[in-house]
A and B are shown apart, each in its own frame.
Chain A
Amino acid sequence: NAGVTQTPKFQVLKTGQSMTLQCAQDMNHNSMYWYRQDPGMGLRLIYYSASEGTTDKGEVPNGYNVSRLNKREFSLRLESAAPSQTSVYFCASSRLAGGIYEQYFGPGTRLTVT
């Protein structure tokens, strides 16, 4: 049981390039999330997918798109990368336990945009 996996682990992009961050979970969770974490900050929600077939914007969605490919996979796309998108990106999935959506996180993708 690998939990939440993310690829790639590291990426360097030039301004204007595009890329897709991949995320997969093997816990049969319905909900999945993408967050970004900047230095000295907590995580901020970019997009989430409450269930397969649905996606919704979070706190900081500008410059990103997402695709919930199936129940296991949730990808994040940067169409035209900007230096402000330099960050660590975390994917998470959640299970409902006792009325709480407990979120479990992947190891992160460290993205630098030059």
Chain B
Amino acid sequence: GESVGLHLPTLSVQEGDNSIINCAYSNSASDYFIWYKQESGKGPQFIIDIRSNMDKRQGQRVTVLLNKTVKHLSLQIAATQPGDSAVYFCAAGGGADGLTFGKGTHLIIQP
């Protein structure tokens, strides 16, 4: 079955720097990928998604890159702020039957 994993359980960055969070997936048939942000004690919050036929998608201060050749995607956060501190999950999907989540990367912002 599908497995989705993140390379690093914890990432520490300086406030104002750019953050890059990585994710690998196993199922090349996944139709799309979604990044979620989860703050302590809350549910996952939708950040951005990307279809499998795209290489890049940009949102407000965030960019997702997809490399289908090596089954890898990344979330880039520009000018990291204290409010970006959270656990970030990537998830893979193929229809209405639910998402497969990775284990998450805890982003820590240092002043």
Residues on A lying within 8 angstroms of B by beta carbon are 4, 30-31, 33, 35, 40-45, 48, 50-51, 56, 58-59, 90, 92, 94, 96, 98-108
Instruction: Determine which of B32, B43, B49 lies in contact with A108 in the assembled complex, contact meaning CB atoms within 8 Å.
Output: B43
Interfacial chain B residues near A102, Cβ < 8 Å:
34, 46, 49
Measured CB to CB, the closest approach of chain A to B44, in angstroms, equals 5
From 30 to 64 in chain B, residues with beta carbon under 8 angstroms from any chain A beta carbon are 31-32, 34, 36, 41-46, 49, 51
Name the one of B43, B96, B102 contacting A31, with C-beta atoms under 8 angstroms: B96
Minimum Cβ distance to chain B for residue A26 (Å): 16
Does B31 contact A99, Cβ atoms closer than 8 Å? yes
Chain A residues near B89 (CB, 8 Å)? 42-43
- B43 contacts which of A48, A100, A101, A106 (Cβ < 8 Å)? A106
Total interface residues on B, using CB and 8 Å? 28
Once A42-B89, A43-B89, A99-B32 are accepted as A-B contacts, the answer to whether A33 and B45 lie under 8 Å apart by CB is: no
CB neighbours of A4 from chain B (8 A): 43
The 10 closest A-B pairs by CB, nearest first: A42-B101, A105-B43, A45-B98, A50-B96, A100-B32, A43-B101, A31-B96, A105-B44, A48-B98, A42-B103
Give the A-binding residues of B (Cβ under 8 A): 1, 4, 9, 31-32, 34, 36, 41-46, 49, 51, 89, 91, 93, 95-104
Of A42, A103, A108, the contact of B34 (CB 8 Å cutoff): A103
CA distance A44 to B95 in the complex (A): 16
The A interface, classified by DSSP as helix, strand, loop or mixed, is strand
CB-CB nearest in chain B for A90: B43
Q: Which residue on B lies nearest to A58, using beta carbons?
A: B98
A107 touches B43 (CB 8 A): yes
A81 to chain B, nearest CB (A): 22
Q: Complex: how many Å from CA A48 to CA B100?
A: 13
* A94 in contact with B45 (CB, 8 Å): no
Q: Which of chain B's residues has its CB closest to A48's CB?
A: B98
- Other than the given A48-B97, A96-B96, A103-B34, 8 more pairs (CB < 8 A) read A30-B96, A40-B103, A42-B103, A45-B99, A99-B32, A100-B34, A101-B96, A108-B42
